């Protein structure tokens, strides 16, 4: 497995480098954490070296009521501003993000351990979303006119209002995409946001808050709270909507508490995502796509492919090409674009990956490539791994690994592939590869997943920001992206008005009631039949 050497300070070789980042450089960011006097701290660790990054202040649940109070006060003024003014902040944030991308790319790599190319995917994603919502929000939030009961004497409009204060509970693996990216539609809709950061990736989110402030976002509209599950759960008591991204187990706990409180939630949870390689594919192009689908951010994303079903007619050729391309991936820890894959985030994630692979091998799975730790590169590096012959009893067969490990299974037909892909409680994303566009569309429609890519990967799904994405089954509910992602943090109000009531010239329920119940029923029956004949919706 090829590799690149790290260029970060390691305290074992450089005793003066106590922290990876200079404390004076990160202190201005840390001062923006919502945390009261005497707060506790958590030390984040650089995955590339295991060295400390920063002592991050922790938010207490006792800090949340005041943060929510300030957010509500700011939100009332913000919601009263025209959508065009709110959208202008997003456009300025878009420009500043691209201008300052080098800074946040460094932070993303230091905090998550991902390769720079995968860190850039977060920058590109958020810029894409900022532009989309800035340019579309005014139309998507505009009042909508619908046909009234007695046209033209009845008018009806549907209005959209911001819910108020939104909690965005963000995991460590994609802090920019799942933190700032989810905050943007909530903000342009007129809400305030309380953004919960994992202590491991708090600096990226604090940098994002500073970026929005520089783009013109008023004070207190976006506040960063830092902590674990207690803070995330505590937020539910102070907000009007919550968006949560994380494991299925944690998501169910969040959903249960939100249900008790009557707080609507959007959940994007786990994935055991599948890919099908049909018999008619270009093997090399498909193998290249499979590498991108499986090993981005070292497999630490809910949309990563962990199961590949290959038609037996091309199984040998595809597996050979896939293994060859996987073995050629360059692992490394440099803050540059030389590495193809970075590190796992820490010891717990490494232990899970090792356990899944060892359990599968113990039950008879075959290692085609990888399955080795790489302490020569850093404490949490693990080679991209391809397994075959994984039996049903192996944990890796059904459980989400959340690492650079994929299992390959042979199938004899399209029907067998679809059945195998759907044999999971999880249904987040999937992929189908075939030369035939018609075949691909038909197969995709049969797969039980919130989004399916044909001849590409989750990157194509995620980059199509105008379309909603989200899971089914144990992968959650609700949607981000598209108009649905904007509407998640709004509520609708229907306003129906009857004309002519005070002049006696209109036609409405008052006139019908005056005719008596029997005549009223007869007139309305004829009206319904006429509307049916005219095919009026």
Side-chain half-sphere CA neighbours of 307 within 13 A: 31
Pick from 449, 111, 138: which is nearest to 273 by CA? Answer: 449
Q: Of residues 122, 268, 383, 488, which has the active-site annotation?
A: 268
Rounded-to-integer distance, Cα 285 and Cα 86, Å: 43
Rounded-to-integer distance, Cα 100 and Cα 207, Å: 11
How would you class 42 by CB atoms within 10 Å of its CB: exposed for 0-12, middle for 13-18, buried for 19 or more?
middle
Reduce the DSSP state of residue 323 to 3 states and report it.
helix
Rounded-to-integer distance, Cα 495 and Cα 371, Å: 61
316 is catalytic: no
Length of the chain: 537
The 10 Å Cβ neighbour count of residue 5 is 11
Side-chain half-sphere CA neighbours of 446 within 13 A: 17
DSSP string for 157-202: EEEEEE-SEEEEE--SSSHIIIIIHHHHHHHHTT-EEEEEEPGGGH
Rounded-to-integer distance, Cα 303 and Cα 271, Å: 6
Q: How far is CA 358 from CA 300, 345, 348, 349, 401, in A?
A: 19, 20, 15, 14, 12
44 neighbors 53 (Cβ within 8 angstroms): yes
Q: How far is CA 248 from CA 102, 400, 406, 455, in A?
A: 34, 10, 20, 28
Pick from 204, 210, 240: which is nearest to 71 by CA? Answer: 240
Q: Of residues 4, 111, 294, 302, which has the active-site annotation?
A: 302
Rounded-to-integer distance, Cα 98 and Cα 123, Å: 7
Rounded-to-integer distance, Cα 437 and Cα 124, Å: 28
| Cα 505 from chain centroid (whole Å) | 54
302 is catalytic: yes
The 10 Å Cβ neighbour count of residue 463 is 15
Residues identified as active-site? 268, 302
């Amino acid at each position: 497995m090829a590799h690149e050497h790290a260029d970060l300070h390691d305290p074992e070789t450089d005793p003066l480098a106590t922290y990876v980042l200079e404390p004076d450089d990160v202190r201005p960011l840390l001062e923006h954490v919502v945390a009261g006097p005497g707060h506790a701290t958590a030390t984040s660790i650089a995955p590339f070296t295991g060295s400390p990054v920063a002592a991050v202040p922790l938010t207490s649940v006792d800090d949340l009521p005041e943060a929510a109070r300030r957010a509500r006060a700011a939100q009332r003024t913000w919601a009263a501003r025209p959508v065009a003014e709110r959208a202008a902040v997003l456009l300025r944030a878009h420009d500043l993000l691209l201008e300052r991308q080098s800074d946040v790319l460094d932070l993303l790599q230091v905090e998550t351990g991902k390769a720079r190319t995968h860190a850039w995917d977060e920058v590109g994603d958020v810029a894409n979303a900022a532009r989309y919502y800035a340019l579309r929000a005014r139309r998507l939030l505009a009042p909508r006119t619908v046909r009234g009961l007695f046209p033209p004497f009845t008018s009806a409009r549907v209005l959209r209002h911001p819910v108020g204060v939104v909690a965005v509970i963000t995991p460590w693996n994609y802090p920019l995409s799942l933190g700032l990216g989810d905050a943007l539609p909530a903000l342009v809709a007129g809400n305030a946001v309380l953004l919960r950061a994992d202590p491991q990736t708090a600096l990226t989110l604090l940098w994002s808050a500073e970026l929005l402030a520089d783009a013109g976002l008023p004070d207190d509209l976006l506040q960063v709270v830092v902590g674990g599950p207690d803070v995330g759960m505590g937020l539910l008591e102070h907000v009007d909507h919550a968006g949560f991204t994380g494991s299925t187990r944690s998501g169910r706990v969040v959903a249960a508490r939100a249900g008790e409180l009557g707080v609507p939630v959007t959940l994007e949870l786990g994935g055991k995502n599948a890919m099908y390689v049909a018999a008619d594919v270009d093997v090399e192009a498909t193998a290249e796509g499979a590498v991108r689908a499986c090993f981005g951010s070292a497999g630490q994303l809910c949309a990563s492919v962990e199961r590949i079903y290959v038609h037996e007619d091309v199984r040998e050729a595809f597996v050979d090409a896939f293994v060859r391309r996987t073995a050629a991936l360059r692992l490394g820890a440099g803050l540059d674009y030389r590495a193809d894959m970075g590190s796992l985030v820490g010891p717990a994630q490494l232990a899970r990956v090792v356990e899944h692979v060892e359990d599968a091998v113990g039950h008879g799975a075959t290692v085609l490539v990888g399955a080795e730790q790489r302490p020569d590169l850093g404490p949490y590096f693990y080679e991209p791994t391809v397994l075959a012959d994984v039996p049903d009893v192996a944990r890796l067969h059904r459980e989400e690994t959340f690492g650079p490990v994929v299992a390959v299974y042979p199938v004899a037909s399209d029907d067998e592939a679809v059945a195998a892909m759907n044999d999971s409680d999880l249904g987040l994303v999937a992929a189908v590869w075939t030369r035939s566009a018609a075949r691909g569309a038909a197969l995709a429609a049969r797969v039980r997943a919130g989004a399916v890519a044909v001849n590409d990967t989750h990157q194509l799904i995620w980059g199509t920001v105008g379309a909603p994405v989200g899971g089914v089954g144990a992968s959650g509910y609700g949607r981000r992206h598209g108009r649905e992602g904007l509407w998640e943090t709004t509520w609708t109000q229907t306003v129906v008005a009857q004309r002519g009531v005070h002049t006696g010239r209109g036609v409405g329920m008052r006139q019908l009631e005056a005719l008596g119940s029997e005549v009223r029923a007869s007139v309305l029956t004829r009206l319904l039949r006429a509307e049916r004949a005219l095919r009026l919706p």
